[in-house]
Amino acid sequence: MIPIEQSAPELASFVDRVLAATHTRKVDLVGHSEGTFMPEYWLKYLGGASKVNRYVAMTPLYAGTNVGGLAQFRASAAPLGLAQPTVDLGAQFCGSCSEFLAGSPTVQKLNQGGAAVPGIQYTTIPTTHDELVVPYTSGILHAPNVTNHVLQDVCPNDVSEHLAEAVDPVVAQLIFNALDPAHAHPVSCAGLPPFAPTSGTVQTLGPLRPTSGSFSCTRPTGRLAGRRLGPVRLGMTRAHARRLFRRSSTHGRHYMDFFCLASIGIRVGYPSPALLRPFSRAERRRVRGRIVLALTSNRYYALRGVHPGTRLATVARRLRLGSGFQLGRNRWYLAPNGPSRAVLKVRHGTIQEVGIADTALTRGPGAQRRFFQNLP
């Protein structure tokens, strides 16, 4: 309940006692909710980074949360002078609450230079059913030393939300595997509901596999080149693409599929009616129901030698990128790529995703912006 600047020193003192008692030089951390957020202050600003080996985070919120629209309220109320009095009132009861709102000075400070601290092996376990970390993607990190496990990518029928993750046996096995990878065991989805929820943010696609066994995602194969990203290619039908993977989800997106791969998956986009409206009947018929965008954060894949997690400044000239365009928190760059259009999604100067897009639908800056705005 107190500001993290006050609670982080308590963590520092506790870790020092553990190190002294166990005669070791490093600890592993397991955190839940704010317990994934506050330690970042210790790691970055109180010298904790040299004392941690692995850091497993349940329902993390590295980018903060907009629960109940509070972050948006603060941003819109600031010009009217209403935001700070509201923050001050809340701080009387919860000193840390305003700190983990998306866009807060604390969130910005903890994300300087990237949220993931080099030298520490991170494992994040967000859930798409999180009602307190909004959006749940706040807990996904893009860095070479991070493994992200969205809970529903591991077990599509797992309905655990923010609090339930702390007592979820699926999450427990992910934690044990992260802390001792040399003795990792398959994660069992046994005992979960036989069907995924039919409403909410997740929708499982296709026939469900039995929930009594162990699941593992498909291993990455192929490469990113031409019109192909691993197993999928531009122009492939939705039905064909879904048959290539053991599990897929829409994550609530009507014209997008998320395919499960070991470590981090692939997402593909299909043209929405709004996207196709300006095009000819023949062009609409050519691409309707077919993949027109494929992206991934998986470092197995590289776009002309560029992996996710690379700093944009180091490759921009070589790839002959233009100025790009901003949509929300991300900046998008497109470049010629033979039979496709190369795509880079960038945030804070770091490449988050690499991929390809249909050339005919992305001719010119205006068409490119409309393309990404109309893949709901």
- The pLDDT of 92-119, averaged and rounded, is 86
Specify if 55 maps to a domain: yes
CATH number at residue 152: 3.40.50.1820
Checking if the pLDDT of 79 tops 60, the result is no
Same domain assignment for residues 241 and 364 = yes
Per DSSP, the residues of 87-126 read: HHHHHTT-TTTTTTBTT-HHHHHHTTT-SSPTTSEEEEE-
- The pLDDT of 71-77, averaged and rounded, is 43
For residue 46 the two structure tokens come to 């109180």
Provide the pLDDT confidence category of residue 260 given band limits of 50, 70 and 90.
Answer: confident
Query: Among candidates 7, 31, 187, 183, which has minimal Cα distance to 122?
Result: 31
Q: Where do we find the tokens 């196709």?
A: 276
- Residues with Cβ < 8 Å from 306, sequence gap 6 or more? 315, 319, 344, 351, 354
Domain end call among 194, 229, 255: 194
Phi and psi for 303 in degrees, rounded to 5?
-100, 105
Three-state DSSP state, 172: helix
Provide the pLDDT confidence category of residue 202 given band limits of 50, 70 and 90.
Answer: very low
The Cα 122–Cα 177 span in angstroms is 12
Domain end call among 194, 226, 245: 194
Same domain assignment for residues 273 and 142 = no
Same domain assignment for residues 110 and 177 = yes
pLDDT in the model for residue 291:
97
pLDDT in the model for residue 68:
57
Domain end call among 142, 161, 194: 194
The Cα 223–Cα 194 span in angstroms is 35
Task: Count the domains in the chain.
Answer: 2
Contact 13, 39 (CB under 8 A): no
Cross-strand bridge partners of residue 188: 214
Specify if 204 maps to a domain: no
Specify if 54 maps to a domain: yes
Same domain assignment for residues 82 and 29 = yes
Same domain assignment for residues 93 and 155 = yes
Number of neighbouring beta carbons within 10 Å of residue 49: 15
pLDDT in the model for residue 66:
85
pLDDT in tens, 42-56: 999 999 999 999 999
Same domain assignment for residues 184 and 329 = no
The Cα 373–Cα 67 span in angstroms is 24
Q: Which has the minimum average pLDDT: 141-155, 181-195, 299-313? A: 181-195
Same domain assignment for residues 178 and 61 = yes
Specify if 205 maps to a domain: no
CA atoms within 13 A on the CB side of 220: 15
Per DSSP, the residues of 38-72 read: HHHHHHHHSS-GGGEEEEEEES--TT-B-GGGHHH
Of the spans 79-83, 96-100, 300-304, which averages the highest pLDDT?
300-304
Same domain assignment for residues 83 and 185 = yes
pLDDT in the model for residue 213:
39
Q: Where do we find the tokens 């696609």?
A: 205
Structural domain span for residue 331: 217-376
Beta strands in 4-150 (DSSP E): 27-32, 52-58, 121-125, 146-148
The Cα 181–Cα 82 span in angstroms is 49
pLDDT in the model for residue 367:
92
Q: Where do we find the tokens 């943010």?
A: 201
Specify if 212 maps to a domain: no
Give 232 or 376, the one with higher predicted confidence.
232
Same domain assignment for residues 183 and 287 = no
Checking if the pLDDT of 118 tops 90, the result is yes
Query: Among candidates 125, 104, 156, 155, which has minimal Cα distance to 30?
Result: 125
pLDDT in the model for residue 193:
55
Checking if the pLDDT of 210 tops 70, the result is no
Share of the chain above pLDDT 90, in %: 57
Checking if the pLDDT of 181 tops 60, the result is yes
Burial of 241 per CB tally in 10 Å (0-12, 13-18, 19+): buried
Same domain assignment for residues 311 and 182 = no
pLDDT in the model for residue 297:
87
pLDDT in the model for residue 319:
86
Same domain assignment for residues 190 and 226 = no
